[in-house]
Amino acid sequence: MSNPALSFKVTRQAPELVVPAAPTPHELKHLSDIDDQEGLRFQVPFIQFYRQSHLGRSRDPAGVIREAIGKALVHYYPFAGRLKEVGSGRKLAVDCTGEGVMFIEADADVSVDEFGDVLQPPFPGLDELLFDVPGSGGILGCPLLLFQVTRLTCGGFIVAVRLNHVMADTTGLVNFLTAVGEMARGQPDVSVRPVWCRELLSARDLPRVTCVHHEYDQVEGTIVPFENMVQRSFFFGPDEVAALRNLVPPHLTRCSTFELLTAVLWRTRTVSLKLNPADEVRMMSVVNARHKFNPPLRIGYYGNAFAYPAALTSAGELSANPIGFAVQLVKKAKNEVTEEYMKSVADLMVLNNRPHFTVVQSYLVSDVTRVGFETVDFGWGKAAFGGPAKGGIGAIPGFIVLYIPAKNKKGEKGITIPICLPAEVMDVFVKELDGLLETGRLAGDTPKKKTTPLITSAL
């Protein structure tokens, strides 16, 4: 498990701007209306751990990656610009000024192994490994990416990245990081050409909302209190998934692991919050829409290309019904996303002044297990861990939940899910979840055995 008590010192050099390594166009490029929504105007932290490798041949990772970023920015030059609002309706555009992305070189008196035998969020010292340079974290007029490369005592290193979410989704960021890795490894060109084409996901000339979008309902009420929030990570490997699958009826046992875990966690979270049974609750799942278009979006498209359709029910119905009820709701919501659905969202943004998605009694899930963060190679091999740096991202703690690829101590592949909840709610959540797992194991005639605690790290 990760070591939450770990303490170490990070020595940083002065932040600098890395500019494209060759001249780039100076132009104004509009974001799409899927990019340009209130709910994406925030910074997202990611982190990559790399162990010492003979592949690096004693090269300095900070110097190598700094130079590679400059080369990759020649292709992805909008990242070197700055955002501004143009015209009416708070429309965002990138002023491609070539000012560059922010870069910090650092050293830490700690090794990769000291972070624990399982690398997963929450990571100790994250604020030191991804330093928030004063004045750099705004949405408008600020660097669109921040990199910090921290060398470790073991010869390994950490690459932490902060992304302005309106510029790209996780697929788009991995496209860029892959290009940086290719430049770092000495390739003469990027293997996938970046594609802008944001007009493909912009509102139509005559905007019209043709689908139901409960994810943008304007609902009054209170959200989860911010006080006394704690974050814990839960690992779901083959044993845990098999146990939970025993809780659904036969006709739903072929549901995806994502659908199963989302149903279980949504229901468990709702039970733990002890909501009024009449309260309306929402689950929103991020659905990649790249292949929903005809033809599909080109592979190099690096803008935001997803929707988060909502499943609705009451807290009482969700809590009282078995897991299969929630699974069916999740499956139905996911299947709503089509090309027309995406166009309808873009039109809604323009017609309704770019509303924020619903946050009252809502729960948003994003699966990044197949995005490919761990495959990013800067010349030292694949990452020992790659993905979101923490749970609870966004302006509202605990609202967005991320599914991250991970391995347990036995080397089994699974999914780590960081959860943020008030401490007293978290205690109930753990008890409820453990109870479901135990019931599932018994239902599958799995002998009761001592297992690794489900909570694998806490901070």
Residue 234's nearest CA partner among 417, 367, 423 is 417
Residue 436 to residues 241, 265, 325, 431, 432: CA-CA distances in angstroms?
11, 11, 15, 9, 6
| 377 catalytic per annotation | yes
First to last CA, the chain: 12
Catalytic residue among 33, 239, 347, 377: 377
Contact call for residues 256 and 279 (beta carbons, < 8 A): no
Catalytic residue among 75, 165, 213, 214: 165
| 434 catalytic per annotation | no
Residue at token pair 């970046």: 194
Joined together, the tokens standing for residue 312 give 């609705």
DSSP string covering 286-350, please?
Answer: -EE-GGGSSSPPPTTB-S--EE--EEEEEHHHHHHS-HHHHHHHHHHHHTT--HHHHHHHHHHHH
Strands 157-164 and 101-108: unpaired
Total H helices, total E strands in the chain: 9, 19
Contact call for residues 201 and 346 (beta carbons, < 8 A): yes
* Catalytic annotation, residues: 165, 377
